[in-house]
Amino acid sequence: MKWETVIGLEVHAELATQSKIFCGCTTAFGGEPNTHVCPVCSGMPGTLPDLNRAVVEYAIRLGLALDFTITKHCKFDRKNYFYPDLPKAYQVSQLYAPICRDGRMEIHTDGKKKTIGIRQIHMEEDAGKLVHDPHAPKGGRTFMDFNRCGVPLLEIVSQPDFRSSAEVIAYLEKLRETLLYLGISDCKMQEGSMRADVNLSVRRPGDELGVRTEMKNLNSFKAIGRAIEYEASRQIAVLESRGKVMQETRRWDDDAGKSFGMRSKENAQDYRYFPEPDLLPLEIDDAWLDRIKANLPELAHEKRERYVRVYGLSESEASVITVHKNISDLFENVAHNSGEPLESAHLITGEIMRLMNDTGTLPEEVRTDANKLSFVISLVLGGAINRNAYKEVVEAVFTKNADPESYIAEKGLMMVSDNTIITEAVTAVLAAHADEAADYRSGKEKVFGFLMGQVMKKLGGTGNPEVTKKTLQELLAQSR
Ligand code: ADP
Ligand code: MG
Ligand code: ZN
């Protein structure tokens, strides 16, 4: 009989608020160690937290987008534990009344739809960062950087509804897309602003849930996929040799391609949670909820639907463009400025995607000026430059933020439609390639493309294709 893998995810997303959750310090990533701190977030005795409203608002945005029930009387709790990255020795979090409960997300894998239940979203504060220096004398030393202390986090806890790594990745991708479109997190996994804990067990289909292990803080989709495959086969091997899976926290070592047991899993009692006495319970009224609902940004799937309906894009173009909010923003700006949504869509899905590929540019890194692109579109549609020149100018704008007007002038890319110049070029080419011209006249029509190419070359690629073609046809017919 086969084994079934059961997975539940706990995802942490750092919020993109300007300031921290309980003080005015910046949430900016990095910085000189211990410069983004104050008495509140460095845990000095006698300080009091002051809740950042934007954190609550962002949590509600995500809750509304994913169909959660919002907890109107919601509270914070203290989770007590000592660790050197947590100067207060407790983390303010939510256990008893998390802000959002019972949401869901629809995912697609292998053409199949599935709904993943999401148990809750709660708000909490991030801890600092420990930097280990293994080369220091006496076996190493550890530095503490509190800049990240108090950066707001949402923890999004799923039901154990996943059955494969493909489902997990599909969920994480859609969750990231949603967080980005809602503008509430930058989701940079490499900077730790989105990280996932994977809870995994195996069982015979139909049995009760098996004993699970937890792998913490996985920070790339690839590592998550590999960790899941490894851990599922490890547990199956344990069970098939009549052993027992221990409930424990394991560390995934992506270089080694293995997970290692770290500690037996603690439970809620171990943390001595109690209601946070320094913060009042939150009352979330309908007026506030309605206001957030009314200002909810458009999500990726809503954009896709609108692009097809309003602009007449194909489904596939619409989904390429919504791959990242940065790209759909670029598209919307170019479409709006140029008034040419279809041409703008072709530009993004064609040239811009090709250039991103060639230069290894990620969607979030694209900084191309929408005004310049819409100007270049107006030039090609207005007949001032031809398609070859169009591609060249777009590339110059993309790679070096060139100014289209001066670039075109400098490179002489304005389209030549002037009959005298084109006639001159055609005459010269026909004289230089008299044999091919004769071939054409005796019925070898294929030669036309070659002659056309020669004329274009002579015109530096800037000939108006229609005028050039017509002139060539006329001159070939005339001197027959
Ligand atoms: P804890 O309080 O220890 O973090 P929770 O009950 O909150 O445990 O569950 C944490 C995550 O583990 C949730 O995403 C849940 O879906 C998942 N989970 C719980 N039990 C199992 C199991 N037996 N197998 C796989 N995942 C599980
Ligand atoms: Mg947990
Ligand atoms: Zn502070």
Atom of ligand 1 nearest to the CA of 265: 3
269 pLDDT above the threshold of 80: no
Tens-digit pLDDT profile for residues 170-218? 999 999 999 999 999 999 888 889 999 999 999 999 999 999 999 987 8
Tens-digit pLDDT profile for residues 235-264? 999 999 999 999 999 999 999 999 888 877
Whether residue 10 has its Cβ less than 6 Å from ligand 1: yes
The mean pLDDT value for 269-277 works out to: 92
The share of the chain scoring above pLDDT 90, in percent, equals 83
The mean pLDDT value for 312-340 works out to: 95
- Distance in Å, CA 182 to ligand 3 centroid: 26
Strand partners, 4: 203
Whether residue 271 has its Cβ less than 6 Å from ligand 1: no
Atom of ligand 1 nearest to the CA of 161: 16
Atom of ligand 1 nearest to the CA of 210: 23
The mean pLDDT value for 75-95 works out to: 95
Whether residue 203 has its Cβ less than 6 Å from ligand 1: no
Tens-digit pLDDT profile for residues 11-26? 999 999 999 999 999 9
Q: Which residues contact 175 (CB under 8 A, 6 or more apart)?
A: 11, 105, 156
Q: Which residues contact 118 (CB under 8 A, 6 or more apart)?
A: 66, 68, 102, 103, 104, 105, 156, 157, 158, 159
Whether residue 8 has its Cβ less than 6 Å from ligand 1: yes
1 pLDDT above the threshold of 90: no
- Distance in Å, CA 86 to ligand 2 centroid: 18
pLDDT of res. 69: 97
- Chain centre distance of CA 53: 25
Rounded CA separation 328/183 (Å): 13
480 pLDDT above the threshold of 60: no
Residue nearest to atom 7 of ligand 1 (CA): 157
Q: What average pLDDT does the chain have?
A: 93
Atom of ligand 1 nearest to the CA of 160: 16
Lowest-pLDDT choice from 42-56, 134-148, 198-212, 303-317: 134-148
Whether residue 165 has its Cβ less than 6 Å from ligand 1: no
- Distance in Å, CA 421 to ligand 2 centroid: 75
Q: Nearest ligand to the C-alpha of residue 269? A: 1
Q: Nearest ligand to the C-alpha of residue 21? A: 3
Burial tier of 256 (Cβ tally within 10 Å: 0-12, 13-18, 19+): exposed
pLDDT of res. 479: 61
Tens-digit pLDDT profile for residues 143-174? 999 999 999 999 999 999 999 999 999 999 99
Tens-digit pLDDT profile for residues 427-438? 999 999 999 999
- Distance in Å, CA 195 to ligand 2 centroid: 13
- Distance in Å, CA 155 to ligand 2 centroid: 9
Lowest-pLDDT choice from 31-35, 73-77, 190-194: 190-194
- Distance in Å, CA 403 to ligand 2 centroid: 53
Burial tier of 209 (Cβ tally within 10 Å: 0-12, 13-18, 19+): exposed
